[in-house]
Chains A and B, each alone.
Chain A
Amino acid sequence: MRLADRIGRLFGNLFGRQQAEDTLDAELRAYIDELTHRNLSRGVPREEARRQALVEAGGIEQIKEEVRLAWLGNGIGTTVQDIRQACRTLLRSPGFTVVVVATLALGIGASLTMFSLMRAVLWRPLPYPEPNRMVTIQVDARNVTNAGASQGEVRDLKTRSRSLELVSTVDAGGANLEYGGEMEHVAAASVSDDFLPLLGAHPALGRTLDSRLDTSNGQARGIVDRRWAVAAAFWSRAGCDRANRARR
């Protein structure tokens, strides 16, 4: 049988059930009629002919049930039966069932944890626009890994590199912040002017860093600006409203 036929028949079994039942019913009735007529032609009276035909055919419902089994044999019905059988078997041996379910649960749980961790760490894109265009440049000194770039090196990268659009230094670390008499340790980084534009971040209030404006005499002091940038998350955690922030 061609695969297409098979699939068609499968769907026919699943969805054309009523039609198949009607056909079967009509077919069996026609069969009884045939037997009745044969008996009639032998000279048996009508009532008796029909009675004999029904006796010869055997239980109609039983035949239908057998035919339904034949339908099931080729359809998805067997899958349903398999599932029922599986459930019965599992219920018969609860100890085994508990072990299997526990094994599956632990296995699935562990895989899920691992994959959600990997998703967070490895696959989720960075929450910045065009994260694929963002690179980290690590500058090593002769014997020191990640020693950091000198100002001159950064300036060279900025002015001479044609691959980099914006260059910012990042010196990450932690800081203790005192606010309203409370001390809190926060993640902090010392960055240069282009850091926030590079991440596509816009200030909710005020302006981003500008080393030319942020020096006391209004002149450019260099690339590195030593001000702490405080994230909005902290502000909201500290319970500040907008006005409060504006005052500070």
Chain B
Amino acid sequence: MAATALELLKGTLDLLILRTLDLRAMHGSAIAERISQVTRGAFQVKAGSLFPALHRLEQEGWIKGEWQESAEGRRVRSYVLTREGRRQLAVEKKTWTRIVQAMTSLLESA
């Protein structure tokens, strides 16, 4: 685990969620857990930002929520990536790569 959690940049949460759901359908706490694990604790997504983001993405039609049984047999609301969501993920990935490249070239310039 990283010593300190990073503050999530504005707009990156959508990308994180879309990327996470690209693997398989997941429910809220699983998404947060997965993001935390993969980023080694750098990003801790709180419910207060996770659920609004999930519902906003659902409104956009990029993900779709449906009630399912979790692995432990509890009813949870799982989210799957829609076709539009997959397209959006590709777009946001590209945008993010450009941001990183731009930032890097700026920071490493003499």
A residues contacting B by CB (< 8 A) are: 1, 5-6, 9, 23-24, 26-28, 30-31, 33-35, 37-38, 56-59, 62-63, 66-67, 69-71, 73-74
Contacts and interface: CB of A to CB of B under 8 A. Distances in A.
Nearest to B53: A70
B109 to A, nearest CB: 38
B47 A31 contact: yes
A44 to B, nearest CB: 16
B85 to A, nearest CB: 10
A1 B87 CA distance: 11
A35 B29 contact: yes
Dominant secondary structure of chain B at its interface with chain A: helix
Given A23-B77, A30-B74, A30-B76, 15 more contacts: A1-B61, A23-B65, A24-B51, A30-B27, A31-B28, A31-B47, A31-B51, A33-B74, A34-B30, A35-B29, A37-B72, A56-B47, A70-B55, A71-B59, A73-B59
Nearest to A58: B48
A74 B70 contact: no
A13 B57 CA distance: 14
Contacts of A28: 47, 51
Given A31-B29, A63-B47, A66-B48, A71 B55 contact: yes
Contacts of A73: 56, 59
A34 B30 CA distance: 9
Contacts of A30: 27-28, 74-77
A24 B60 CA distance: 17
Given A1-B84, A31-B29, A74-B60, A67 B55 contact: yes
Nearest to B52: A66
Contacts of A33: 74
A37 B65 CA distance: 22
Contacts of B59: 9, 70-71, 73-74
A66 B48 CA distance: 7
B57 to A, nearest CB: 9
Contacts of B53: 70
B43 to A, nearest CB: 15
29 contacts: A9-B61, A23-B65, A24-B55, A26-B75, A27-B51, A28-B51, A30-B75, A31-B29, A33-B74, A34-B28, A35-B29, A37-B74, A38-B29, A57-B46, A58-B46, A58-B47, A59-B48, A62-B48, A63-B51, A66-B48, A66-B49, A69-B52, A70-B53, A70-B59, A71-B55, A73-B56, A74-B56, A74-B59, A74-B60
A24 to B, nearest CB: 8
Nearest to A12: B59
B27 to A, nearest CB: 7
A9 B75 CA distance: 24
Contacts of A63: 47-48, 51-52
A38 B29 CA distance: 10
A63 B53 CA distance: 11
Nearest to A57: B47
Contacts of B75: 26, 30
Contacts of A1: 60-61, 84
